C-alpha cells in the first residue's frame, strides 16, 4: 500500500477498531540467562500510534528487535492481523524500522542507503527517486542525498534513517527513540511532521521513547513500562485533542501526572537487575 491507496486520514481513522492489528501475549526476551523483558501483553490497533514509554535500560530496544524478527522471543507469542507472527513481523509484512543507532551503511551514500532498503522491500524502481526526494525533504536532509553518512551529524544520520524506514512504504513502523539526538526545536518540527504523516497514512506505529512529553504529544495510547526487566505498568489513553501543541498546558499537566505516577517505579534500583 502507499499513501494514496491508504486513503485519507478520516477514512482510515474511522476504520480503526478495537480488533488488534498486532498482539503481544506474554512476550519475554532474554539476553543469555538474563531476562530483560518479562511477559509483556500489549496490542496495537489498526491505524494506531502507540508509544512505549520506559526508563533507560528497561528493555525497549530488545523488545523492538524481537518484533522485527532480529532476535527470538524467549517466551510468549506475537500475532499479526489474526495470524501467528512469533518469528517476527518482517516474515509477514513490510516493517519500517528506525534503529536507535541508525545503522546506515558507511560505504553507501545517503540516497543509496535508502535505495538498498527499498530494493529489499520490493518497492518498484520507478518510484525510488521520488521517494528518496520526498522523505529526505520531509526530514530536512535533502541536500545530503549524495553525501556519505560519516559526513553527517548524528542528528542528520538519525533523520536519514527515519527517511529510509518510511520510504519502504511500510505496513507497520517501529521507531526506537528516533528524535533523541536532535535539539528540541528540530525534534518538535520532526514530531509535527511525523504526526502529519501518520494522519495521512494511518500506518500502525510503535514508537519507543523515554520522554513522557514526547509520548503524550505523539501517541493515541501510551504503554508505560517498568524498570527492567520490562513489564507493563499501565496503559494510558491520551485524552488530548489533535492537533496537539507542545506548549499546551493540558499536555504539561498530564506529563506532570504521569511523572508523579511513575517516579517511584522508575527510580533506579540498587544492585544488578535479575
Per CB under 6 A, does 40 bind ligand ATP? Answer: no
Considering the complex, what minimum distance in angstroms separates the CB of residue 56 from Mg ion? 7
Closest by CA to 226, choosing from 73, 52, 71, is 52
Q: Is 99 left (phi over 0), alpha (psi -120 to 50) or beta?
A: beta
Considering the complex, what minimum distance in angstroms separates the CB of residue 205 from ligand ATP? 17
Which among 2-10, 58-66, 129-137, 150-158 is the span making contact with ligand ATP, rule CB under 6 A? 58-66
Per CB under 6 A, does 211 bind ligand ATP? Answer: no
Supply angle C-alpha 225, 227, 232, rounded to 5: 25
CA dihedral sign, ordered 144, 140, 174, 8: negative
Please identify, using beta-carbon distances, which residue of 110 and 208 lies nearer to Mg ion: 208
Per CB under 5 A, does 211 bind Mg ion? Answer: no
Considering the complex, what minimum distance in angstroms separates the CB of residue 105 from ligand ATP? 21
Please identify, using beta-carbon distances, which residue of 61 and 109 lies nearer to ligand ATP: 61
Please identify, using beta-carbon distances, which residue of 36 and 123 lies nearer to ligand ATP: 36
112 binds, among Mg ion, ligand ATP, none (CB under 5 to 8 A by kind): none
Could you give the CA distance from residue 25 to residue 67 in angstroms, rounded to a whole number?
12
What number of CA atoms fall less than 13 Å from residue 261's CA on the CB side? 16
227 binds, among ligand ATP, Mg ion, none (CB under 5 to 8 A by kind): none
Per CB under 5 A, does 61 bind Mg ion? Answer: yes
Evaluate whether 131 touches 207 at the Cβ level (below 8 Å).
no
Which among 20-28, 30-38, 95-103, 235-243 is the span making contact with Mg ion, rule CB under 5 A? 95-103
Residue 196's contacts (CB-CB under 8 Å, 6 or more residues apart) are none
Binding site for Mg ion (CB under 5 A): 61, 100
Amino acid at each position: 500500500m502507499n499513501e494514496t491507496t491508504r486513503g485519507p486520514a478520516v477514512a482510515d481513522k474511522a476504520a480503526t477498531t478495537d480488533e488488534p492489528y498486532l498482539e503481544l501475549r506474554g512476550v519475554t526476551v532474554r539476553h543469555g540467562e538474563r531476562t530483560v523483558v518479562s511477559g509483556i501483553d500489549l496490542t496495537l490497533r489498526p491505524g494506531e500510534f502507540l508509544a512505549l514509554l520506559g526508563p533507560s535500560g528497561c528493555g525497549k530496544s530488545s523488545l523492538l528487535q524481537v518484533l522485527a524478527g532480529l532476535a527470538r522471543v524467549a517466551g510468549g507469542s506475537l500475532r499479526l492481523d489474526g495470524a501467528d507472527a512469533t518469528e517476527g513481523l518482517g516474515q509477514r509484512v513490510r516493517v519500517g524500522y528506525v534503529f536507535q543507532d541508525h545503522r546506515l551503511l558507511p560505504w553507501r551514500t545517503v540516497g543509496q542507503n535508502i535505495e538498498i532498503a527499498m530494493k529489499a522491500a520490493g518497492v518498484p524502481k520507478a518510484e525510488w527517486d521520488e521517494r528518496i526526494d520526498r522523505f529526505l525533504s520531509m526530514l530536512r536532509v535533502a541536500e545530503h542525498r549524495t553525501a556519505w553518512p560519516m559526513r553527517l551529524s548524528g542528528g542528520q544520520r538519525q533523520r536519514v534513517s527515519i527517511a529510509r524506514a518510511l520510504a519502504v512504504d511500510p505496513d507497520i513502523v517501529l521507531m526506537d527513540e528516533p528524535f533523541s539526538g536532535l535539539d528540541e526545536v528540530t525534534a518538535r518540527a520532526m514530531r509535527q511532521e511525523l504526526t502529519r504523516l501518520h494522519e495521512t497514512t494511518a500506518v500502525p506505529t510503535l514508537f519507543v521513547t523515554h520522554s513522557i512529553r514526547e509520548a503524550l504529544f505523539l501517541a493515541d495510547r501510551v504503554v508505560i513500562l517498568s524498570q527492567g526487566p520490562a513489564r507493563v505498568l499501565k496503559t494510558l489513553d491520551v485524552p488530548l485533542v489533535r492537533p496537539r501543541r507542545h506548549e499546551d498546558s493540558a499536555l504539561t499537566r498530564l506529563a506532570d501526572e504521569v511523572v508523579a505516577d511513575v517516579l517511584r517505579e522508575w527510580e533506579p534500583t540498587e544492585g544488578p537487575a535479575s
